[in-house]
Structure 1
Amino acid sequence: MSSRIFIRCIHRKNSTYALALPGQGIIRNGFLTPYKKFEDHYRQHLEAVDEALGEKFTTNLYNESPDFSKTWLLRTSNAQPAILLTTYIILDIIKREFYVDLVSNAKFLLGHSLGEYTSLLLSGIIDLPTAVKVVRKRGQLMEDLVANGPKYGMSALMFKPPSFDSVVEQAQKAGILANINSRQQVVISGEVDVLQNFVTSVNSTSKVILRSIPLPVTIAFHNEILKQIVPDLRSEIYSHKVREQMVPIVSNLTGEATYDHDTTISRTLEANYRPVQWVKSLEFLIANGITTVVNVGPGDVLQGLNGKFKVENIGLDTPESFSVLKEKKFI
């Protein structure tokens, strides 16, 4: 019998799904523990990452201690490669176990913040060792930048859709708008005191902001202060081999697709200090024939965000969730 593996293929031009990839802010014990039974499929990736980072990094992804995850994952330089690698491994398990290449058959990729670097990897622009080095460097640059300064943070603001334009405009004017996630939620970033004062100011005459939820990060993502990390981050990317882009990526910066690697990298870098245009991104997908968004990676944040849009919303976060692949006829 032939040992050749056949991968189920859907012609991308006719594809009606996009892959969405998560950002930071996920605190979970043992990222890879649920996938341990599939380790034969991905052991080589663990070895490649440990070699690239020069440490036994991947053993931390099996640590199930709550105290450990709450401290280790709060470090951006740990969280970013951990989330990127876990997302990559989930997709590789699906490819090897079920013979479904969700990446190659997707019409578009889009990643939320950190997830855009996962998109660079999945689209073939950079390989796995390069990707983990880049996001580790990104995290270290961010940590160094805020180490001796004021206390930074991020908060998700919830409000009713009629307040969307007003909240976005005020947050932009204040220089703290970070993510435009839906018409009911934006994220602000900057000095913690500034964020708290902003909410108080907006609600001074009426309660426009219904809830303000601090996020588990200590970096002001997508804030102007991060502009200064871009030259070093660009140097890090281009110090490695950069390849042609194989799958279109919807940019956080513009909410539109990019098709060549240099444009994609340029926009990804600029997005470090500009707001994530998630609303525009999802509206772009819908306008371009996407009916299903498949959210792949640890956590359910994207599942919640994308549920606000008129698309079928599928989550692939645990081995149990893989059954949806058969239900939705990916298998």
Structure 2
Amino acid sequence: MTRAFVFPGQGSQAVGMGRELAEAFEVARLTFEEVDDALNQRLSRLMFEGPDADLTLTENAQPALMAVSVAVVRVLKDQGKLDLRKHATFVAGHSLGEYSALCAAGSFSLADAARLLKLRGQSMQKAVPVGQGAMAALLGAELEQAQAIAADAAEGQICSVANDNSSGQVVISGHAEAIDRAIVLAAERGLKRSVRLPVSAPFHCPLMQPAADAMAQALANITILPPDVPVVANVTATAVSDPSQVRSLLVQQVTGMVRWRESVQYMKAQGVDTLVELGAGKVLAGLAKRIDKELTATSVGSPADVEAFLKTL
């Protein structure tokens, strides 16, 4: 078995996430307290109790999802002596999940990862006035088809592919009017369904440049260590270990496309046969099966999941 550990992105959050872990494992509870202290915010209470509207806010969802992922990693290390160098070939994360992956692999301290993601969420929200940007999922589209639709719908505005998640699931992002035009074009070109996503900003497109600038400034002042195992970066879909390259790619990631389908294919081509999703939800495990049916994928987010996974080490 050759594993890669993968870490979920925004959309996987849900009220109650991490609560069972904190109740079952002291190391998880201490992880959440460490994040609370770093942010000077009771984020853990929001994670455990809601309300959902506050948890879904980008500036809260991003550090919260990272906190759950890192708590799972720390529990596995504490309970089963998980050793990334021994038990994983790569780590990778979807959008904000790349920060979770880097923290899990020792590149970032937990406090730095939490503060960076808080800033990232705030900066992405502020980059575009509410209502001016939008995102939509083009269901049934392949990447090249989605790129053509986005280009034709732009008409001088921004409209580009934000996430290449899997075959048949591509997300576009940009000016709201351009996204609406793209949805009409997609229907005219035979796509089975296109839906606007309930997001507060147009992520992973050039409209996010102010957020990229903010992250460049913040990351310049953060210590980044070489990860314990290579990280497969969103914007290149290839492995990276050099801290200066990690820093640069995280800045590019804010405006760049999340090449998740290619990232998974890259790991498979390097011999990975099992993806283990660590954290909230099961989104990435589901995508793995759509990307390559030969891959085994599992999600570890609850005490029961932890117990089952430890038996495979």
The alignment's TM-score, normalised by the length of structure 1, stands at 0.86
Query: Does the residue aligned with 1:245 lie in a helix, a strand or coil?
Result: coil
Deviation at 1:193, TM superposition (A): 3.3
Query: Does the residue aligned with 1:197 lie in a helix, a strand or coil?
Result: helix
Paired residues of 2:18 and 2:68 also in contact (CA < 8 A): yes
Relative to structure 1, the CA distance from residue 196 to residue 103 in structure 2 (aligned partners, 3 Å threshold; closer, same or farther) is farther
Paired residues of 2:187 and 2:193 also in contact (CA < 8 A): no
Q: Paired residue for 1:45, among 19, 23, 31?
A: 31
1:59 & 1:324 partners in 2: Cα distance?
27
Q: 1:137: which partner in 2?
A: 119
Relative to structure 1, the CA distance from residue 214 to residue 323 in structure 2 (aligned partners, 3 Å threshold; closer, same or farther) is farther
Query: Does the residue aligned with 2:218 lie in a helix, a strand or coil?
Result: helix
Q: Percent identity?
A: 28
What letter is aligned with 1:151? Q
2:3 & 2:300 partners in 1: Cα distance?
14
Relative to structure 1, the CA distance from residue 102 to residue 194 in structure 2 (aligned partners, 3 Å threshold; closer, same or farther) is same
| Residues 21-57 of structure 1 deviation map (CA, whole Å, 9 limit, x = unaligned) | 1110124111122213324123332332222112222
2:98 & 2:74 partners in 1: Cα distance?
18
Deviation at 1:177, TM superposition (A): 0.6
Relative to structure 1, the CA distance from residue 99 to residue 168 in structure 2 (aligned partners, 3 Å threshold; closer, same or farther) is same
Relative to structure 1, the CA distance from residue 81 to residue 219 in structure 2 (aligned partners, 3 Å threshold; closer, same or farther) is same
Is residue 254 of structure 1 aligned with residue 236 of structure 2? yes
1:27 & 1:215 partners in 2: Cα distance?
15
Unaligned runs of 5+ in 1: 1-14
What letter is aligned with 2:235? L
Deviation at 1:119, TM superposition (A): 1.8
1:219 & 1:21 partners in 2: Cα distance?
22
Aligned 1:50-199 pairs, distance under 5 A: 50-63=36-49, 65=50, 68-69=51-52, 71-102=53-84, 105-146=87-128, 148=129, 150-159=131-140, 163-171=142-150, 174=154, 175-199=159-183
1:292 & 1:238 partners in 2: Cα distance?
34
Q: 1:214: which partner in 2?
A: 196
Q: 1:31: which partner in 2?
A: 17
Query: Does the residue aligned with 2:73 lie in a helix, a strand or coil?
Result: helix
2:226 & 2:258 partners in 1: Cα distance?
24
Relative to structure 1, the CA distance from residue 129 to residue 254 in structure 2 (aligned partners, 3 Å threshold; closer, same or farther) is same
Deviation at 1:131, TM superposition (A): 0.3
Q: Paired residue for 1:313, among 275, 297, 301?
A: 297
Deviation at 1:102, TM superposition (A): 4.7
Query: Does the residue aligned with 1:124 lie in a helix, a strand or coil?
Result: coil
Paired residues of 2:85 and 2:228 also in contact (CA < 8 A): no
Q: 1:9: which partner in 2?
A: none
| Residues 81-122 of structure 1 deviation map (CA, whole Å, 9 limit, x = unaligned) | 000001110111122123333576311011111111112212
Paired residues of 1:91 and 1:102 also in contact (CA < 8 A): no
1:193 & 1:103 partners in 2: Cα distance?
47
What letter is aligned with 2:246? T
Query: Does the residue aligned with 1:73 lie in a helix, a strand or coil?
Result: helix
2:250 & 2:35 partners in 1: Cα distance?
22
Is residue 16 of structure 1 aligned with residue 2 of structure 2? yes
Query: Does the residue aligned with 2:56 lie in a helix, a strand or coil?
Result: coil
Relative to structure 1, the CA distance from residue 233 to residue 104 in structure 2 (aligned partners, 3 Å threshold; closer, same or farther) is farther
Query: Does the residue aligned with 1:262 lie in a helix, a strand or coil?
Result: helix
Paired residues of 2:28 and 2:72 also in contact (CA < 8 A): no
Q: CA RMSD in A?
A: 2.1
2:67 & 2:102 partners in 1: Cα distance?
13
Relative to structure 1, the CA distance from residue 149 to residue 99 in structure 2 (aligned partners, 3 Å threshold; closer, same or farther) is closer
Deviation at 1:80, TM superposition (A): 0.4
What is the number of residues matched between the two proteins?
306
Unaligned runs of 5+ in 2: none
Q: 1:272: which partner in 2?
A: 254
1:41 & 1:164 partners in 2: Cα distance?
41
Paired residues of 1:104 and 1:247 also in contact (CA < 8 A): no
2:109 & 2:151 partners in 1: Cα distance?
35
The alignment's TM-score, normalised by the length of structure 2, stands at 0.90
1:226 & 1:313 partners in 2: Cα distance?
32
